[in-house]
Amino acid sequence: MFDYVRLEVRRTLRDTGFVIGGVAMPVMMYLLFTNLGTDDGSWRTASMVGMAAYGAVGSALNTGGGVAEDKAVGWLRQLRITPMLPREVVLGRALTGAVTVLPAIGAVLAAGGLVNGVRLDVWQWAAIALLLWLGSLPFTLLGLGTGYRLTAQATGVVNMLCNLGLSVLGGLWFPVALFPGWLRSLSSFTPTNRFAELGTAVADGHAPALAAVLVLAAWLLVFGSYAVVSYRRAAQTV
């Protein structure tokens, strides 16, 4: 299974579209949003976490695009005749997603520290990176579920809409404080808002709120169930 993971990680990291959209784009957006006539250090820190989360979400969802492409070319059918069990195939893809989110997180955090002058303690940098890495798992499962269920083209469209919609609604691009009251309340129930809160809480010097962990855990169960159901459906047709 680990050979399979190494293969898929290499395939993903060699994809020019992934490097541009999943790594370079969040960095460019972060530098653009934080250098337009403002020198607010707190905004640069909060935006750094938000854009790192945005990049992680996009990279995690991209895992589903690879699954849909493999399904189209018959790669999933080939995997069924290998000694790998079905759960190992799914786990391998999930581990691939867990690895490929790291470049996006690392690139944005590096831009914050090296370019925008964000200053945090060493433990805060490490904790933010770790929490964003662990917190990206629900979005990997969402991408996998969509990839197993839809065609490659449809998966790309759905993933793009999910990424943009959840990122904007979750406050990854703009501060939630700018939202009207009803939208701010809705945002607090989104997985992206609570995902970013894991990092912003640490940047502020305290542990994430229990509510953030519980909401994100609930979405993990929802997206995990979606991935399982989608995989079972694909198993009957591929």
178 DSSP 8-state letter: G
12 DSSP 8-state letter: H
Structure tokens, 27: 């960095």
**Do 140 and 166 meet the contact criterion of CB atoms below 8 Å apart?**
no
Buried b (16+ CB within 10 A) or exposed e, 58-81: bbbbbbbbbbbbbbeeeebeebee
Return the pLDDT at 83.
67
Looking at residue 142, its amino acid is L
Cα–Cα distance measured from residue 24 to residue 44, given in angstroms and rounded to the nearest whole number: 18
Return the pLDDT at 86.
64
Cα–Cα distance measured from residue 158 to residue 146, given in angstroms and rounded to the nearest whole number: 8
Q: Which of 22, 46, 18 is nearest to 172 (CA)?
A: 46
From the CB of residue 18, how many other CB atoms can be counted at a distance below 10 Å? 21
- Residue range of the domain that includes 30: 2-237
Chain centroid to Cα 83, Å, comes to 30
Q: What does each of the 238 residues of the chain score in pLDDT, given as a tens digit?
A: 666 667 667 777 777 777 888 889 999 999 998 887 666 778 899 999 999 999 999 999 988 887 887 777 776 666 666 666 666 777 777 788 888 899 999 999 999 999 999 999 999 999 999 999 999 999 999 999 999 888 888 998 999 999 999 999 999 998 888 888 889 999 999 999 999 999 999 999 999 999 999 999 999 999 988 888 887 787 666 5
Its pTM stands at 0.88
Split into its structural domains, the chain has a count of 1
**Do 132 and 53 meet the contact criterion of CB atoms below 8 Å apart?**
yes
Return the pLDDT at 80.
65
Buried b (16+ CB within 10 A) or exposed e, 143-159: bbbbbbbbebeebbebb
Helix (H) or strand (E) holding 202: helix 191-203
**Do 45 and 112 meet the contact criterion of CB atoms below 8 Å apart?**
yes
Provide φ and ψ at 80, rounded to 5°.
-70, -20
